[in-house]
Amino acid sequence: MKAVMLRAPGAPVEVAEIPRPEPGPGEVLLRMEACGVCHSDVFISERPKLPRAPLVLGHEGVGRIARLGAGVSQWRAGDRVGMSFLYRACGGCEFCASGRETCCPQQVQTGYTADGALAEYAVADAGFIARIPDGLDPLQAAPLCCAGLTAYKALHTAGLKQGEWVAIFGAGGLGHLAIQQARRMGLRVAVVDVAPEKLEQARALGADMVINGAVHKPREVLGSVGGAAAALTLTGAPAAIEQAYQALKPNGILVLVGLSPEPFPLPVVKTVLQGLRIAGTLVGTRDDLREVLRLGAAGCLRAHTEACRLEDVPEVIERMKEGKQLGRAVVQFD
């Protein structure tokens, strides 16, 4: 089968022929229908170290079950399901027991510590996949399995009330879905980006305020409404993280989502005096995934997608590195 591979840390992303995998006990084999290309794939492709190599990338996949592993009884061949970055959690630790399975110290991660979904066939844990609702197109469903899920989790981590201002830094694959979800939650939405076409799309999606971070200071613009109650960094750009922190009003929360290899210098005095909070969030739980897919099927979320072929993924990743990808590139399999 064909798959998007990293042969070694720092190696070029390539499309290669590899053997088709087989599901183990408690797993299923999926014949993939669609898989989005995420900025996490870019981040992983640039890591100087990897937990495994060679590695199949990709973690927001939709496919039909082609084969059941031993002990799997809750699914049938032909079922259409989605898989996310959380491949498996232990189910018995304090985090799993309290609905925080994404913090499980024994978790396995799709496309990072386990082979991923940017392939014609992929293996998934039968307990961590979600049924795709009838009528939800695979090209729409795939981005919801990570981009939509991550945006959903970040907004709920912020814990805002209706009418409060949320500043969304980064209006790409996650950002355009975060805007829709924030509007649905009754929040006032400010969007910060440096790409005019992304800001134009954000305005069309209902953003109350758009700010070009390369031209204006978000702190000053958001100061006109008293500052942001929450700022979500859906990009790993260090400048955006700094701007997001500075844009917060007292007792505001900075929700870090985008991955940056560079440290963020924390202004301790300001954080203490203004009661600021900082939280990190990683995708979402299985229950979150089911809810996001339900919202997608109900028409509450609409991903801006660009269909591509598996062979196009190396080029897509280069375009994403340059910040030129509008919306979500999604591989459509035959």
Please report, rounded to a whole number, the percentage of residues in the chain having pLDDT higher than 90. 93
User: 288-324, pLDDT tens digit by residue?
Assistant: 999 999 999 999 999 999 999 999 999 999 998 887 7
Our separate counts of H helices and E strands in the chain read 11, 18
pLDDT, mean of residues 19-48: 96
What pTM was estimated for this model as a whole?
Answer: 0.93
Domain ranges of the chain: 2-132+304-332, 148-280
End-to-end Cα distance, the chain: 12
Judge whether 223 and 250 are in contact, CB under 8 Å. no
Provide CB contacts within 8 A for 107, sequence distance 6+. Answer: 86, 87, 88, 89, 90, 101
Tell me, what's the pLDDT at 262? 85
pLDDT value, residue 323: 78
Overall fold of domain 148-280: Rossmann fold (3.40.50)
Is the pLDDT at 243 greater than 90? The verdict is yes
Cα–Cα distance between 268 and 75 in angstroms, integer?
Answer: 51
- Supply the CATH classification number for the domain 2-132+304-332: 3.90.180.10
Token digits of residue 324: 């030129």
* pLDDT score of 83: 97
Residues with Cβ within 8 Å of 277's Cβ and at least 6 positions away in sequence, in order, are 251, 252, 253, 254
